[in-house]
Amino acid sequence: MSGIPNLPETYDDLPDKRRFWPGAPGSEEEGLGMLRLLTPKIVAQAAQSQIQTGERVCLNWNMENLSPPGFGRKPFEHRVKWVAEGVAFDDEYHFNPQQSSQWDGLRHHNAPAPTPENKDLRVFYGGTTAAEIQDENSSRIGIGHWAKKGIAGRGVLIDYVSYAKKKGISINALTRQMISLDEVLEIARDSNIEFQKGDIFFLRVGLPGTWEGMSGEERLAYSQQGMPQHAGIEQSERVLRFIWDNHFAAVASDAVSFEVFPPLNPDFDLHHHLLAGWGVPIGEMFDLEDLAATCERLGRWSFFISSSPLNCSRGVSSPPNCMAIF
């Protein structure tokens, strides 16, 4: 029924809180991770309940916006070139998906998995090793698994930016500002959001507003930091329990790293648990401005989501190519 056999119903039911790897190594089931929750029944129910007016909002931030990007990533480049002089043009794109809106795939982030023989061991989802990911003949947990069916289902928006404005809270998305679970739950109650199994959870933190308010010098200084700071949801066992117990198929935000970074409590690093542990996709730097405005105008904070990751079998991450339909 869930799309994942023997899915523990609650966080407390997990035999190992740090990992849930039900798919066989190298299988499609393993490659999908928690996206296996998006069964045809779940997607059909989402489409029937959410598509009412036909209004559409795309959630892809301009690929050129975050320039220069942090962490030493390659800046976006785009060239228009003649393919047949005087007749037709082609594009050439050179970019790192991580420097704008992107899904973090299961190959992106590993987590500690120490053994008596190797106390420094780190592995990716399913126990995948770095050597497997670097093997050109291996597509294990590559984002190509997601591309075959895409990501589709019911999305829900927690609009922290609007909440903060009402409460008189200032926001700087490039600081270590933490959004608490209590605030998330309060916003959900105020927005009449009732979470459902397989939901795609969106959190608006306000990166576009912060970035647009920065000078060129400030943007350059941000990109040159060895350890930049990012606003996001708290990293705690309470949040892990919230995410697991609601069985979200994926989570996403307009923040740089979804959770507050660097983590305030490294024991509950969400990237460790969600990507390497549970196979939950993490979306970052989505453009949620028009989405929030549409939700406010329509008075509803749920919608149908359609996302088509790049069909690259060994891919680590991908632009979301994501649309919300109301």
Hey, what are 326's tokens?
Answer: 């109301």
Reported confidence tier of residue 139, pLDDT bands at 50, 70, 90? very high
Percent of the chain scoring above 70 in pLDDT: 99
Strand partners, 304: 154, 325
Residues 182-196 have pLDDT tens digits of 999 999 999 999 999
pLDDT at 114: 87
Residues 213-264 have pLDDT tens digits of 989 889 888 888 888 899 999 999 999 999 999 999 999 999 999 999 988 8
Q: Is the pLDDT of residue 1 over 60?
A: no
Domains of the chain: 23-69+95-109+138-325 (3.50.30.50)
CA 5 distance to own-chain centroid: 24
Residues 22-58 have pLDDT tens digits of 999 999 999 999 999 999 999 999 999 999 999 999 9
Percent of the chain scoring above 90 in pLDDT: 80
Task: Bin 279: left if φ > 0, else alpha if -120 < ψ < 50, else beta.
Answer: left
CA 259 distance to own-chain centroid: 10
pLDDT at 227: 86
What lies within 8 Å, CB to CB, of 109 at 6+ separation is 124, 271, 272, 275, 276
Q: Is the pLDDT of residue 14 over 70?
A: yes
The three-state DSSP-derived secondary structure of the chain is CCCCCCCCCCHHHCCCCCCCCCCCCCCHHHHHHHHHHCCHHHHHHHHHHHCCCCCEEECCCCCCCCCCCCCCCCCCEEEEEEEECCCEEEEEEECCHHHCCEEECCCCCCEECCCCCCCCCEECHHHCCHHHHHCCCCCCCCCHHHHCCCEEEEEEEEEHHHHHHHHCCCCCCCCCCEECHHHHHHHHHHCCCCCCCCCEEEEECCHHHHHHCCCHHHHHHHHCCCCCCECEECCCHHHHHHHHHHCCCEEEECCCCCECECCCCHHHCHHHHHHHHHCCCEEECCCCHHHHHHHHHHCCCEEEEEECCCCCCCCCEECCCEEEEC
Residues 54-112 have pLDDT tens digits of 999 999 998 887 778 777 788 889 999 999 999 999 999 888 888 889 999 999 999 99
| The total number of residues written for the chain in this structure | 326
What is this structure's pTM?
0.94
